[in-house]
Structure 1
Amino acid sequence: QVYKGLDIITNKVSPQEQRLCRHHMISFVDPLVSNYTVVDFRDKAVALISYIFARDKIPIVVGGTNYYIESLLWKVLINTKEKANTAPGTVTDRKVELEQLDSVELHRRLSQVDPEMAAKLHPNDKRKVARSLQVFEETGIPHSEILHQQQEEEGGGPLGGPLKYPHSCILWLHADQAALDQWLEKRVDDMLAAGLLEELRDFHRRYNQEKVAENRQDYQHGIFQSIGFKEFHEYLINEGNCSPETSTLLLQKGIQALKQVTKRYARRQNKWVRNRFLRRPGPNVPPVYSLEVSDLLRWEENVLKPALEIVESFIQGHEPPVEPVKMEYDVNENKRSHRVCELCDRVIIGDREWAAHTRSKSHLYHLKKRRKLEAAGRTAETEGDSGGAETPGEDSSV
């Protein structure tokens, strides 16, 4: 939502809603800027938070992308732009340049300068590998070493540096998965009714059509990676150049893709909350309060009233009337362990991911297949041995 444009697809707060409460960091980055990063977001947001505190107000971070929220809560990011003298919007972006390399070559380069970080990152995770390589190139210090320095600071932990705002709390709006899926599908339908297609056509014509014609479209950076734009790529580039029947099919394909990717993203967000907030090791983790939103008819009773009570308690320095969510975590769990499943020809990063992989249908299928082959091999070997053995009384001479 930091980018100008695509108000419907990014579900921005309406101007009417913004007049009820002052909002920040909405629609201020040009759509053609492709290298606005989480570091840029953090720097601007932290300054705004300080400004809000100075006016004796309480900042409320609403979202959204949990990685960006995490960047505000903990010291987990590394700023290389000052050292590289690069501002948002500058054409040259070393990370983007590195991402153009082959995954194998990119990972090989990182292995040479920061083997510890290379061992923690999946070779196919080009973004993270490129970022670690960029950190080394622009600071001269291995990414892993900088992370160790953050973790060793007072209040730091396995996932990064100390908590920035000690008196924070997290309100997690949680819904039954079936209900959430239904709402998300309806949300897409509501977007279409609100003029989504007109918005996409206009944005494509103004910012993307020329790139497509020159075969340089990029759906991996900036606003172009937004959920809902790339899903309609085929429809937008073929509209007016194909039969009405084909256009309708491409439109329906885009709508279904948007619904699926939206539901998938919601699942990833919930997984992030559980793994990065609720199971985050160390004492410096804000309490997370779960608010059940499955029944919208009971919104005031289940959500609004308890949320206000929790926030009011924090303001007054009292214990909230409800308990935060507690989830057990393994203090010995290694989120960056590196394993290779030779059976499936896959690299697995993380203890929990490895455990999940060994229980997956794909792995169990390959395991069952290998055992069958091994059993068949043993049977053939046994038959071969018995077939070539001499029988009593048989002349074995030539």
Structure 2
Amino acid sequence: MDSSSDTSSSPPPPALSFSRRQKEKVLVIMGATGCGKSKLSVDLSIACGYEAEIINSDKMQLYRGLDISTNKISIPERRGVRHHLLGDLDPADGELTPADFRDLAGAAVADIASRGKLPVVVGGSNSFIYSLLVDRFHPGSDVFYGSGPEDRVSPQLRYDCCFLWIDVAFPVLCDYLCRRVDEMVETGMMEEMADFYSSESWPGRTGLLKSIGVPELEWYYKMGDDEGGWDTVRRSVYEDAVRKIKENTCRLAERQVGKIMRLKSGGWDLHRVDSTDVFRERLRAEDEAEEVWEKEVMDPSVKIVKQFLQEE
């Protein structure tokens, strides 16, 4: 999720119009963790005159709990745009499979489209995105790491899709992600994790156990409270855990981009929007970051979506 400031003071882009079609139109916003997908989804939904609703496709954000650690978009940042499958599931019910997500998100697409609104699928879990969108999904296949004939990416989709791929040069994104981890720690991540591990039910929260931060901090919280000589040891364990969280977040981003490239090479028509300059400005804490976002990300995205919605 993106934690940048509210853009409500900026003049809104012109409202977009919907045209009749045979398949449901679906907007899909893809990209690595932290690249600004959530912010763009809200900005575009508002540009549509609130005639769009967002379906989360991040597998960790599906579950209730660990809002800071999983980077769920906050209520104020949603700016009145309705979100689906965001913190809706009980993590004790087990891990959701791609086939499960296809059913849940497919029902959300049908519901949103039936009310004349645009479904916007947003998230970094590309296996979930693939399972939802492909015309014929085979649960046993692995289109990202498999090598058999059944593992080929299918270009046949069950919806009329427009893909926006928000891309950021990896060194710049990694620097930003590391800073974001520090900000998460400062804004309550450690307290949130402490509550998670102090709960008697935490071992059964299987849906969240793979969230970055949970395995890295497990040993730190199992050590108990600071007592005498443990202070130095706990500090070392804590610093090592934060370092691993940063490393694993950057590795996740790299894997996500690799999967997006696999889909692109498999025939998916992805519109790449380069957000690198935006993140350079954010790392410098420059006031111009929002202006660069509007010019280099929002404006081209609005043009792409507007053309998509007007196509028969």
- TM-score scaled by length of structure 1: 0.55
Query: Residue 18 of structure 1: CA displacement?
Result: 2.8
Q: How does 1:122-141 map to 2 (within 5 A)?
A: none
Aligned to 1:178: 171
- Higher helix proportion (structure 1 or 2): 1
CA distance in 2, matches of 1:7, 1:181: 21
Aligned to 1:134: none
Matching residue's letter, 1:70:
Y
User: Is 1:187 aligned to 2:173, yes or no?
Assistant: no
Tell me: CA distance 1:184–1:305, structure 2 relative to 1, closer, same or farther (3 Å): same
- Higher strand proportion (structure 1 or 2): 2
CA distance in 1, matches of 2:199, 2:126: 30
SS at match of 2:165: strand
Q: How does 1:303-314 map to 2 (within 5 A)?
A: 303-314=297-308
Q: How does 1:289-328 map to 2 (within 5 A)?
A: 289-296=271-278, 297=289, 298-317=292-311
Matching residue's letter, 1:251:
Y
CA contact (8 A) 1:227 1:258 kept: yes
CA distance in 2, matches of 1:24, 1:69: 14
CA distance in 2, matches of 1:76, 1:182: 39
CA contact (8 A) 2:98 2:139 kept: no
CA distance in 1, matches of 2:105, 2:250: 28
Aligned to 2:128: 68
Range moving further from structure 2, 196-205 or 38-47: 38-47
Aligned to 1:41: 101
Query: Residue 38 of structure 1: CA displacement?
Result: 1.9
- Residues 204-230 of structure 1 deviation map (CA, whole Å, 9 limit, x = unaligned): 111566x4xxxxx89xx5211111111
- Residues 151-207 of structure 1 deviation map (CA, whole Å, 9 limit, x = unaligned): xxxxxx933483111x21111111111110111001101100110000000011115
Query: Residue 72 of structure 1: CA displacement?
Result: 1.4
Aligned to 1:265: 252
Aligned to 1:58: 118
- Residues 285-305 of structure 1 deviation map (CA, whole Å, 9 limit, x = unaligned): 3x2111111112211111000
Q: How does 1:189-338 map to 2 (within 5 A)?
A: 189-207=182-200, 211=203, 221-240=206-225, 243-275=230-262, 277-281=263-267, 285=268, 287-296=269-278, 297=289, 298-317=292-311
- Residues 29-77 of structure 1 deviation map (CA, whole Å, 9 limit, x = unaligned): 1121224222221101101101111111111111121111111110353
Query: Residue 4 of structure 1: CA displacement?
Result: 0.7
Structure with the larger RCO, 1 or 2 (CA within 8 Å, 6+ apart)? 2
Tell me: CA distance 1:307–1:12, structure 2 relative to 1, closer, same or farther (3 Å): same
Matching residue's letter, 2:210:
Q
Instruction: Give the alignment's Cα RMSD to 1 decimal.
Output: 2.7
SS at match of 2:161: coil
Unaligned runs of 5+ in 2: 1-60, 279-288
- Residues 86-121 of structure 1 deviation map (CA, whole Å, 9 limit, x = unaligned): xxxxxxxxxxxxxxxxxxxxxxxxxxxxxxx9xx99
- TM-score scaled by length of structure 2: 0.69
CA distance in 2, matches of 1:40, 1:17: 28
Query: Residue 79 of structure 1: CA displacement?
Result: 6.7
Unaligned runs of 5+ in 1: 81-116, 129-143, 149-156, 212-216, 319-398
CA contact (8 A) 2:209 2:215 kept: yes
Paired positions, count? 236
Identity of aligned residues (%): 31
Q: How does 1:7-26 map to 2 (within 5 A)?
A: 7-26=67-86
CA contact (8 A) 1:173 1:291 kept: yes
CA contact (8 A) 1:3 1:27 kept: yes
CA contact (8 A) 1:32 1:207 kept: no
Structure 1 ranges of 4+ moved more than 4 A: none
